[in-house]
Structures are given as structure tokens and as C-alpha cells.
Amino acid sequence: MAEVRINADSSRIMPKDRLIRAVKSCDILFSLLHDRIDRAVLAANPKLKAVASMSITPDNIDVVAATRRGIAVTVVPPIVAEATADLHIGLMIAVARNLVEGDRMVRAGMFPGSQSNHLAGSLLYGKTIGLVGGGGRIGRATARRARGFGMRLLYWSPRRKPEAEKELGMKWVSLEELLRESDFVSLHPPLNAETRHMISDRQFALMKPTAFIVNTARGPVIDEKALLRALKTKKIAGAGLDVFEHEPRLPAALKRMKNVVLTPHLGSAVMEVRDRMANIVVDNIEALLAGRVPPNCINPQVFA
């Protein structure tokens, strides 16, 4: 038997002071992606045995500090590709067809009429999508959906993916060519030193003024200040964003723009995936309680 305490407010990220108070009375901390598990949190409870995260990568966990303290850190495997690709296509449609702005207008009592050009947008059908990091799981899942819209598929990644090219009819091009030719620039790279701010002023200058950029990868892949400049000067037509450079904080100017669709990091937010993720976390915790190395432990040396 175990005593379980849950944060009942799922509408916001738990403040750090509350997280520190809560961790003082637990043996195992079940954390979510945006919970920042830093040295202060880890040091708050000398008896803490493990951090069982529902994140795929421990971006917000100080794994080095946890390892020094003998605290096991577990994650979940990458099982969010299909759900994230669904959202990615949803953002493309929403920003290209002005769905959010249309929803606001109807709720405000405005109805321009079905043949008015007031909210005329852009087709997806037959357009070119450029998948940056398109050889990975989410990029390929997005490409499969884009094929259903009759889109031309370009991709760039550091290494060519012949199997993806054969399966999906994707064409590998340089990043510069992808940016110049794409009607939708679709971002899927992992976040690392090479990809941080890989999309900045120079890259936006290469894009078509009618093109849209969509990001469901990691926020810092885009230089947010450069994005604001590109949107304000109409170097690009719009953006669909599920991730942000300093989330949960967003620039006020970004929130005011009508040609931007914003969602709060919803990539894995479908119950089928969340149930699988939660069950994997429970499997990790059960292994810990049984004295076994969990299947998704990223610092197994603490068991040595």
C-alpha cells in the first residue's frame, strides 16, 4: 500500500514553493514536463528516492544533481508521435484558414457571409510542406497526414533518410531550399546546441511572404524575437505554435497577433496517450519499490 498525494489543479503549472513543500513529505516524486526539478527541489527532501517523470526527455530535471544524491530519474519512451502530428496538422489548418479568428467573430455576433473575403485564407491542398527534422517519428507522421492533402513533401535533416523518401515520397533538400520553396515550414528537430535558434532572421528572410511556420517541437528552435519581427513586417504570413521559447511565458505582442494560433504545449494531450504514459510511470515506480532497475531509468548507476 502507498499513500498518493495529487496536485488537484491541472489548469496551471505548480509554483516552485508549493512543489518544494510537497516533495518534503514523499519518497517518490511524479513530475510532469514543465515541473522544474532543480537542485533546490531535490535538496528539499534528503530521503527522496526517485523522480518519476512523465516527460520523454528530462529537460527540466537536474539529472546530474539527482545522480549525485542517489536519486533515480525515470522517463517515458517516445510514444507521442501520432498525437503530436494530429495537432501539427490542426495548427496548419487553423492558421491557414483563420479558424480561431472566425470563431471569435461568430461569438462576438459578426457573420461576414460565406462568400465574403474578410477571412479568406490559404489552401493546404497541393501546397508544399517543408519538414525540418522530417526524418524522425513526428516528422514522418506529419508527412503521412500531409500526403492526404495532396501536399508536396520536402524535408531536411542532418542525415538523409532513404527509407522515409521511399515510403512517403519525400525529397531531401538543403535547409535554405526548403525555406525558399515551402508554403508551410514544419518544425520537428530535437532541441540541442545546434538547433537552438536555428530559425532566426536569416531563415525568415528566405521564406515566402505567403508562407506559414508551425512548431510543435521545442520553443527555442525558433528565435522568438526574430519571429515577432518577421510577423510584424509581414515577411511571413503567420505561425501556428504549440511550444514557446520561455514557456509558460509568452511575449504580449505574440498574443495580440491575429495571424498566429497559440496552444499550450498540447502535443500529447489526448487521453489514450496520457493513459499509456501514466501507466508507464506506474511501471517505473513499481520497479523502484520492488528494488529493480526501472525499464526507463536514465541514470541506472545510482543502483550500482
- Catalytic residue at 247? yes
Which residues are 239's β-sheet partners?
213, 260
Q: Distance of CA 220 to CAs 7, 69, 216, Å?
A: 28, 30, 11
Quick one: which of 217, 221, 132 has its CA closest to 172? 132
Grid cell, residue 102, equals 472566425
Catalytic entry in 265, 274, 276, 286: 265
What is residue 217's predicted lDDT score, i.e. its pLDDT? Answer: 96
Kindly report which listed range (66-70, 111-115, 234-238) carries the lowest average pLDDT score.
111-115
Nearest-angstrom CA–CA distance, 195 and 218: 10
What is residue 8's predicted lDDT score, i.e. its pLDDT? Answer: 78
What is residue 259's predicted lDDT score, i.e. its pLDDT? Answer: 95
Every domain of the chain and the residues it spans: 16-78+270-303, 81-262
Kindly report which listed range (17-21, 126-130, 230-234, 242-246) carries the lowest average pLDDT score.
17-21
Q: Is the pLDDT of residue 2 over 80?
A: no
Intrachain domains 16-78+270-303 and 81-262 with the same fold: yes
Task: Note the pLDDT tens digit of each residue in 150-181.
Answer: 999 999 999 999 999 999 999 999 999 999 99
Task: Note the pLDDT tens digit of each residue in 118-137.
Answer: 899 999 999 999 999 989 99
Q: Is the pLDDT of residue 1 over 70?
A: no
Catalytic entry in 140, 181, 218, 224: 218
Catalytic entry in 69, 247, 274, 276: 247
- Catalytic residue at 218? yes
- Output the CATH code of domain 81-262: 3.40.50.720
Average pLDDT, the chain: 95
Task: Note the pLDDT tens digit of each residue in 263-277.
Answer: 999 999 999 999 999
Mean of pLDDT values over 6-14: 84
Single-letter amino acid, residue 236: I
Q: Is the pLDDT of residue 76 over 90?
A: yes
Nearest-angstrom CA–CA distance, 184 and 220: 19
- Output the CATH code of domain 16-78+270-303: 3.40.50.720
- Catalytic residue at 188? no
